[in-house]
Amino acid sequence: MSTLRSKRAWLIALVALLIGVGILEGPAAFAASGVTGVTFSGSNQAGGAPANWTVGFTTTNGASGQLSAGDKITVTFNTGFTVPAGPAITLGSGFTSCTATATTASTTVTITLAGAGCVHTKATAAVLTIAGITNAPVGTYGASTFTIATTGDTNAVSPGSSVVLTAARLVYTTQPPSTGTAGSPLATFRVAIQDGNSNTVTGWNDTISLSIASGPSGGTFSSAPSTYTNVATSAGVAAFTGVAFGAAGTYTLTAADTTAGHTGFATATSTAIVISAGGASKLAFVQGPSNGFAGTALTPAITVQVQDQNGNAVAASGIGVTLTPSAGVINSGATATTNSAGRATFSSVVIETAAVGLTLTASATGLTSTGASSAFNVTVAVSTGATLTNTATDGTGSGVKTVAYYYCAGYSGACTSSNWTAIGSSTASATNYSVTWNSQPANGAYRLVAAGTDNITNTSQPSASIPITIAN
């Protein structure tokens, strides 16, 4: 009996020695795996969404340290994922002349290599894709819940980091109203963060912003930025209250997640919102006044539009509109009535007194008047052979004896003996001291003055200048 015990002790010692020097392998639980560099990545890592998952790895397993036909690769997903039976397998880099088939047990996929000459070269990075995986809900899944093993492995290996599944998209759970009024807030509408199965991700409190996807030219939000920018979600839903537009027209809105790390989610575009003009509030020039000639209707015709408070045209007919100049009077054509589009057209505005730098204001009862129009000039049209006259009359003693005429370049500024050019003088009081102006300067803008001399040779101050336009 003692001899048997001594033989058994000797045998145990020998086995231990052989294991220690590597001649025999130890128990399976302590064997090293030949798989390294494991990665898991989905083509769509949105919670609940279907995706193709790509697995990367390097192995030294198999005959001569490389895989070949008949060898197996076993991939396990977290139990929250759904794996189809016999999913399609695509072999990528690292495999030569190989095909693959797969079977499924729960969330474990066993892939069998096949093909004449099939080989995965030892220690070469390999990539394969498993199709049709349905992701688990939004969340973070520990690296240890994903593994891969190849023929000859006794320990499965996990990737180096957790797998994160995010939300898939934004969705308008309540659309904006289909109609609204410029400047007035729209009824509240909502945007939710959803996973791939259209479930609202209630655990996230992101911020969502709106932008105008389409709209009229110049269309903008007229409400405060806080109504449409970085609006916080509650249980995954953002409520947009007080959104308003300034310009009338048809709009659509894009919603986007603005939280760091979540900006890549699919955006959402709203249905159309038709914004109409508000009530009549003010007047605005559409076509303001242009330079013209004294006694002649200004062209093009001046037009004035009825608008709401945001500057949108209002179709208000039958409103009487009056033009008022900044100086002098409009001799005719100062009033007009709006048409069915809310526009008043002034096609026969005549100002008989020449003036420089005039402006017009349009007004109507119950509406805010326009501001001053752009400045314009009303001048006297003059061409070669024009007759210049002065209404001074002759008299006795110091009465007018002669009237002389002068011109200076430009419509404004002093025109005196220091800078004027003489045209001629007249003593013919019976014809209002007329002079015929020939040999005029080049076409353009000038101002004209007259100065009188009395019977005892006193010379008057020059008259106020008259703006003229020479056009030959």
Own/partner pairs, 37-41, CB within 8 angstroms, 24+ separation:
37/125, 38/147, 38/148, 38/157, 38/158, 38/159, 38/160, 39/159, 39/160, 40/146, 40/159, 40/163
SS3 label, residue 14: helix
Q: Domain coordinates of the chain in residue numbers?
A: 31-165, 169-276, 282-376, 383-470
429 pLDDT tier (thresholds 50, 70, 90): confident
Instruction: Report the alpha-carbon distance of residue 78 to residue 146 in Å, rounded.
Output: 6
Alpha carbon distance 158, 36 (integer Å): 9
> pLDDT tens-digit profile of 240-251?
999 999 999 999
Tally Cβ neighbours within 10 Å of residue 374.
10
Q: Residue 270 to residues 104, 146, 234, 235, 326: CA-CA distances in angstroms?
A: 42, 39, 20, 21, 49
H or E element, residue 40? strand 35-42
Torsion, Cα 205 199 264 49, to 10 degrees, reads 150
**Cross-strand pairs, 285:** 304
- pLDDT by residue (tens digit) across 99-139? 999 999 999 999 999 999 999 988 899 999 999 999 999 88
Is the predicted pLDDT of residue 42 greater than 50, yes or no?
Answer: yes
* Residue 455 pLDDT greater than 90, yes or no: no
What CA–CA distance (Å, rounded) separates 445 from 423?
16
**pLDDT score at 177:** 98
Q: Which CATH architecture has domain 282-376?
A: Sandwich (2.60)
Q: Would you put residue 4 in left (φ > 0), alpha (ψ -120 to 50) or beta?
A: alpha
CA 138 to chain centre: 31
* Token code pair at residue 429: 């009081």
Strands 376-382 and 466-470: parallel
For Cα atoms 464, 443, 391, give the angle at the middle one, nearest 5 degrees: 30
pLDDT, residue 391, reads 80
Cα distance between residue 148 and residue 111, in whole Å: 11
The SS3 call for residue 346 is: strand
Is the domain covering 383-470 a CATH 2.60.40.420 domain? no
Q: Which CATH superfamily is domain 169-276 in?
A: Immunoglobulins (2.60.40.10)
Q: Write the CATH number of the domain with boundaries 31-165.
A: 2.60.40.290
Residue bearing the bigger pLDDT, 253 or 453: 253
With 0-12 CB in 10 A as exposed, 13-18 as middle and 19+ as buried, what is 20?
exposed
pLDDT exceeds cutoff 80 at 301: yes
Distance CA 401, CA 427 (A): 6
Tokens 């989905």 found at: 42
Instruction: In whole angstroms, give the CA distance from residue 200 to residue 20.
Output: 58
pTM score: 0.68
